Amino acid sequence: MIRYEVKNETESEEVKYVCFVDDDTFPQNKFALPVPPILLSLHGCGIIDTSCGLVCLEGSLRKSDNSETDMVVLWNPSIRKSIAIVVPNDGPSRFYPLVGFGVCPETKDPKLVKISSKNDDDDDDDDDGNQVMVFTLSSREWRCLSSNHLPRKSLVFDNSSQTVIGRFLYRFVFNGELYLISSFDLTNEEFGEVPLPDSLRRSYLFISKLRESLVLIDDNEESTTEDIDVFDIWMMMEDGAFTKLFIINNASVERIIRIMGFKKTGEPLVEIDVREDDNSDPTPVLVVYEPCLDHININDLGICRGAAFFAMCSYNKSLLLLDYDDGIILIRNPKKQNSLLNSYMKMLPWLEFDIQVEILKRLPVKSLIQFRSVCKAWKSLIDSSPFISDHNNVGHHPLSEHLMIKCGASEENYVCFVDDDSDSFPQNKFATPPVPPIFRLFWPFNTAIHSSCGLLCVEGLLREPDNSKTHMVVLWNPSIRKSIAIVVPNVGAPSGFIYAATSRVIPFVGFGVCPETKDPKLIKISSRNDDENQVMVFTLSSREWRCLSSNQLPLKSLEFKNYCQTVIGRFLYGLAFDGEFYLIWSFDLSTDEFREVPLPDSLRRSYLDMSKVRESLVLIDEEKGHSSTDMQVFDVWMMMEDGAFTKLFTIKKASIERILGFRKTGEPVVEIEIEIVDDVTTALIGVYEPCLDHIKDLGICRSATFSVMCSYNESLLLLDHDDDDGCIVRAVEN
Amino acid sequence: MSKKTLTLMSKDKQLFNIEEHLAVQSVTIRNMVKEDGASSVIPLPRVDSETLALVIEYLNRQQAPEEDEDYVKKFVDERGEIPTLLELAQAALDLDIKKLMDAACMKVADLIKDFTLEEVREALRIENDRTPEEEKAIRDEFQWAF
């Protein structure tokens, strides 16, 4: 399908673009196009050419200081996208720089060729001749082509017409004496000359194309008489020779002024002058000329123009530019980068979509999931990895902190709260998202749920069809209800081995999302043969486990304490025992490096619980056998910015059994034992308010097992993973 | 030292004066002033006069830094109409006035977060470019959210 586009400046100087579908229905199938806003700001706008569905226009932008910048706009009308490119201006040139345009048919990379002919009054040293610069959209840069690519140095490039056929860009050139056609190969960037019959070299010809052949239009200026327009149409044949295709010998009343181009049937579109009577000014009108009938239907297209010329081009539909953002490409590495221009650009009417992006970034996840359906652009934005990563950055969503508490083995035992600042806590309980479907085949360990960047990590055993058990972790984003299960490789353990209750044989699995790449990462440390900890790392992007050389571990004979971990920023913290003392280690999620975090000696003697308050590491030291009374004593330590630990507060309260974690206000969420019947403990969960020494009941009661808690933010992570909810990644071990 | 005044021109050619030290809260204007001294009128071809008046009111505020956050919030809260807020957000984005842009976008996000799809399209003047069948297919990916 080919369309014609006509630029029509009416008397009010309004620029109009009209399209026709170039098929049998022509010219019934006509439609208007929304014009890229930048075009409205350009002066002296003209169409350079079309190639592979892209329309290339040029014009100049007048800045506030009245200086002008030459610009080229690449526009794909089929998908309504455009990119503007600033044309470098080398010095005070008299002319518009001459810009050629074509899309390389092999790479589909749009290319611009700028030829600045040297001033005539330049000194005679023609050493540089015509200076040629080439721009490719993929590189976004202008670079110089050495001038010896030009066939002759003293050519005068005319800037009125060009045409692209296949991989060649043709132009009409004057060498000071005769005319010739230069070709530029869009693939290898070489200039050439197309041989012309001598008879065609004497006058200026208009260059065009008919289907995929080069056509020259000779308007026989000298030879025409007053009454008859004679145009010779020449076509370049496959062997490179030129043949006269037909002659337009129009004797009708209306005078043909110019041939604009051709329909794909070969009929020319021409500009004619229409006068209502002999005294009135002529009105230029665009019509189709039918050579066989020597006929013109004036009302055919219904287009007449004002002061400026018509411009016409034919284009196909294409998807080029789809992968580019609308915008302006400034000149890079020029002598002077003009930030004024840069500032000015920001005000051009393009940014409609930018403001939508800014608003979307600030919406809660659920709204975003709904608003994917608003339009295509929103869906592709929301689903894109940069948006997913960016959206998770804190500060945008005042209500996005959640506490999830699990107080039993079954699905109903997950409860969520919005952890907001208001006094409404804990009323703001919300429907807990359904647990991932894989949980039905899965025995989650009841020991911990870890969270990082809105993803929860639940570790457990999967019951295989043959009744064997596979150690795995499920990454779960409750905000968008997506999950991915990952099998933890079982190196060294006997096949069919069922993990026993002793933590010594279950490898340690740590989880964190690298804050820079937003790539979820797992580390597995298996204490094999007691003296060598083998470390493996899994990233969701690679879907592979790979070994980390163990010498990155500070000490080889550590016993890593399962389930005790916390992610803060880019560090994953955990607890280990070196046979004598406890220590805290950190794992850098960006660089995969282990470090030891220095602890005060007093904290190294007993098992510690680890948690966080906002973005600080917190250790909970339960003082056992502290006193003869039933009083439970918990010391809460916080790691300060300088790495030192400070005792935050001490909780002494008889009824508190365990500290599960902290609200963002710093108040601990605790478990209170209420009764033991037949060895089954029943406990309540509440928030301890240290100032009031009071426990606010959360209305959750735990049965048989431990309860665990984690806090998480809303996030879009996993949205761009195509997998079905709950799919299992059985990663290959490397 | 006398205070220098800049003149800003809105889309509809209205002129507004503002002291330079206040105007340069806009990074865009700051760059322009740095570049050429901006002796003449600075044209703001995308900002209409009503919006520019709001922006000027904001730039002229005399708040202590610690009250600034609250002021910006209140400033946009008082202009609760979505079209006004969109114009304001767009102007703040173009002029690179971050706090104002943040607050205006946050306010719009707050207002539209519970809208239906049709209401969102109407509020932000977005055309639905899918057929009902295509739209349903997208919704079905996350049925629970509707």
Please state the ipTM of this predicted complex: 0.93
Chain A residues in contact with chain B using a Cβ-Cβ cutoff of 8 Å:
41, 64-65, 338-340, 342-344, 346-349, 351-352, 354-356, 358-364, 366-367, 369-376, 378-379, 396, 480-481
Domains of chain A: total: 3
**Is residue A621 domain-resident?**
yes
pLDDT tens digits for A165-188? 888 988 888 777 788 888 888 888
Residues A448 and A477 in one domain: yes
**Chain A residues close to B112, C-beta within 8 Å:** 359, 363, 367
Give B34's contacts in chain A (Cβ within 8 Å).
339
Mean pLDDT, residues A124-131 = 53
Within a domain: A264: no
Query: Over chain A, what is the mean pLDDT?
Result: 76
Residues in chain B with CB shorter than 8 Å from the CB of A351 are 90, 93-94
Does residue A452 fall inside a structural domain?
yes
Which of A151 and A250 is assigned the larger pLDDT?
A: A250
Please tell me the distance in Å from B94's CA to the nearest CA on chain A: 5
Instruction: Report chain A residues whose CB lies below 8 A from the CB of B124.
Output: 356, 359
Using DSSP's 3-state secondary structure scheme, residue A306 falls into coil
Domain with A500, as residue range(s), is 433-598+714-734
Are A701 and A723 members of one domain? no
Domain annotation covers residue A324: no
Are A359 and B105 inside 8 Å of each other by CB? yes
Nearest CA in chain A to B87: A355
pLDDT band at A334 (very low <50, low <70, confident <90, very high): very low
pTM score over 0.90: no
Query: Would you call B62 exposed, middle or buried from its count of C-beta atoms within 10 A (0-12, 13-18, 19+)?
Result: exposed
What's the burial of B140, exposed, middle or buried (CB within 10 Å: 0-12/13-18/19+)? exposed
pLDDT at A571 over 90: yes
Comparing A278 with A647, the larger pLDDT belongs to A647
Q: Searching chain B, which residue's CA lies closest to the CA of residue A368? A: B113
Say if A554 falls within a structural domain: yes
Name the pLDDT band for A422 (thresholds 50, 70, 90).
low
- The whole-angstrom separation of Cα B95 and Cα B74 is 21
Question: How distant is the Cα of A481 from the closest Cα of chain B, in angstroms?
Answer: 9
Q: Looking at the partner chain, which of A41, A355, A375 has a beta carbon nearest the beta carbon of B127?
A: A375
A360 and A441 together in one domain? no
Identify whether residues A642 and A731 lie together within a single domain.
no
pLDDT per residue over A590-640, tens digit each? Answer: 988 888 888 888 888 888 889 988 889 999 888 765 555 567 788 889 999
pLDDT of residue A588: 92
Q: How far is CA A253 from CA A12, A163, A218, A259, A457, in A?
A: 28, 31, 21, 17, 83
Is residue B83 less than 8 Å (CB to CB) from chain A? no
For residue A6, pLDDT over 80 is answered with no
Question: A489 with A378, same domain?
Answer: no
Q: Angle between the B82-94 and B117-124 helix axes, to the nearest 10 degrees?
A: 60
The pLDDT of residue A347 is above 60: no
Statement to judge: residues A625 and A535 lie in one domain: no
A-B contacts at Cβ under 8 angstroms: 104
| B44 has a chain A CB within 8 A of its CB | yes
Residues A552 and A478 in one domain: yes
Residue numbers in A near B100 (CB within 8 A):
none
Q: What percent of chain B has pLDDT over 70?
A: 94
| H or E segment to which residue B106 belongs | helix B98-112
**Is A376 part of any domain?**
yes
Same domain, A625 and A720: no
The tens digit of pLDDT for each residue in A492-544 reads 554 444 444 444 467 889 999 998 888 999 998 876 555 566 788 999 888 88
Identify whether residues A456 and A379 lie together within a single domain: no
A388, A718 contact by CB (below 8 A): no
Rounded average pLDDT over A235-260 = 78
Q: Is the pLDDT of residue A469 over 80?
A: no
pLDDT in tens, B73-124: 889 888 878 888 988 998 998 888 999 998 999 999 989 989 999 999 888 8
Please check whether residue A228 lies inside any domain of the structure. no
Cβ distance of B138 and A375 shorter than 8 Å: no
* Backbone torsions φ then ψ of A721, nearest 5 degrees: -90, 125
Classify residue A36: in a domain, yes or no.
Answer: no
What is the distance between the alpha carbons of residues A428 and A413, in angstroms, rounded to a whole number? 17
A559 and A686 part of one domain: no
Q: How far is B134 from chain A (nearest CA, A)?
A: 9
pLDDT tens digits along A637-671: 999 988 889 988 888 877 788 888 888 888 888 88
Please list every residue in chain A whose beta carbon sits closer than 8 Å to the beta carbon of residue B28: 343, 346-347
Q: Report the distance separating Cα A358 and Cα A516, nearest Å.
A: 20
Residue A560 and residue A627 in one domain: no
Question: Closest residue of A to B141, CA-based?
Answer: A369
A361 to B146: CB separation less than 8 angstroms, yes or no = no
When pLDDT is averaged across residues A106-117 and rounded to a whole number, the result is 84
The residue ranking higher by pLDDT, A320 or A568, is A568
Q: Give the span between the Cα atoms of B8 and B49, in whole angstroms.
A: 10
A677 and A532 in a common domain = no
**Can you tell me the mean pLDDT for B117-141?**
87
